[in-house]
Amino acid sequence: MTATATARRAALEARGIVKSFVSGRIHTRVLDHVSLQVHAGELTLIAGPSGCGKSTLLSILSGLQRPDEGRVFALSEELGRLDLRALERFRLRHTGFVFQGFDLFPALLVAEQVELPLQYMGFLPAEMQLRAREALEEVGMLSRRHLRPIELSGGEKQRVAIARALAKRPDLLFADEPTSSLDAANGQMVIDMLHDIAHRHGTTVLCVSHDPRLIEHADRVLRMEDGRILDDLRMSPSIQPTMSATWSTAQ
């Protein structure tokens, strides 16, 4: 299915999400009746200051946490109705994650990092190697496939993390502060990659960040503050980036 055909479909939906955390006698509401829809074939950015609830919202939408109140639908599946095992299967099959800390294994080669989740999905070695090769080539890291994380720059590590998620060919790709550990050039490269993945593959890409530089690279921006969505902005196509020509060279 092409990105154009999927762009009108709401792949993620939250209805009245409430989440609170308790520490002793202190009860803090992090999300206050949040409702939204996120569409396939787009890069949607949830922006806002640290502590506004955006990472908690991402965690709930991806099924890593359950809300205190409200309902979450992902690919028409209500996540709250799934038991723990079914929820793990859903995430393994349909979702990819990119985190600010890269989450790479020090002892594994780049190619092995990308192949690892494919092993859990039950792919045969030949298919794992093919998918890993294609994903690494797409992010400009194929020539670095025999290196270990200690031999890579921060930007390269994040590109490997993106390739690892991309090799699964996920319907849903979640990115939590993916540029916070990177300099400006590598941060722009990463957000351009996520934007291109959404448009090229028809993937639903949801990114949270407090970095204001990322706003102009998104298709849609949801601005959060104090656990609520204050603005929902559709960005003009005239300011969208084209596919980065620096993927294979940026370090």
Range of the domain at 122: 3-9+40-58+83-237
pLDDT in tens, 198-231: 999 999 999 998 877 778 788 999 999 999 999 8
| pLDDT value at residue 245 | 34
Asked, for residue 246, whether it belongs to a domain, the answer is no
Asked, for residue 223, whether it belongs to a domain, the answer is yes
Asked, for residue 69, whether it belongs to a domain, the answer is no
| pLDDT value at residue 237 | 57
Instruction: Note the pTM of the prediction, 2 decimals.
Output: 0.86
Which residues, 6+ apart, have CB-to-CB distance to 81 below 8 Å?
A: none
* Average predicted confidence (pLDDT) for the chain: 87
In this structure, the strands spanning 77-78 and 204-209 are: unpaired
251 confidence band (pLDDT: 50, 70, 90): very low
How many domains does the chain contain in total? 1
Candidates 38, 165, 194; CA nearest to 94 is 165
pLDDT at 246 over 80: no
pLDDT in tens, 9-51: 689 999 999 999 888 788 889 999 999 999 999 999 999 888 8
Asked, for residue 33, whether it belongs to a domain, the answer is no
Asked, for residue 215, whether it belongs to a domain, the answer is yes
**CATH number of the domain where residue 182 is located:** 3.40.50.300
Asked, for residue 63, whether it belongs to a domain, the answer is no
Asked, for residue 77, whether it belongs to a domain, the answer is no
| pLDDT value at residue 181 | 79
The CA angle 178-172-10, to the nearest 5 degrees, is 120
| pLDDT value at residue 236 | 60
Asked, for residue 71, whether it belongs to a domain, the answer is no
Q: Count CB atoms within 10 A of the CB of residue 83.
A: 8
- Separation between Cα atoms, residue 37 and residue 53, nearest integer Å: 17
The CA angle 213-39-189, to the nearest 5 degrees, is 30
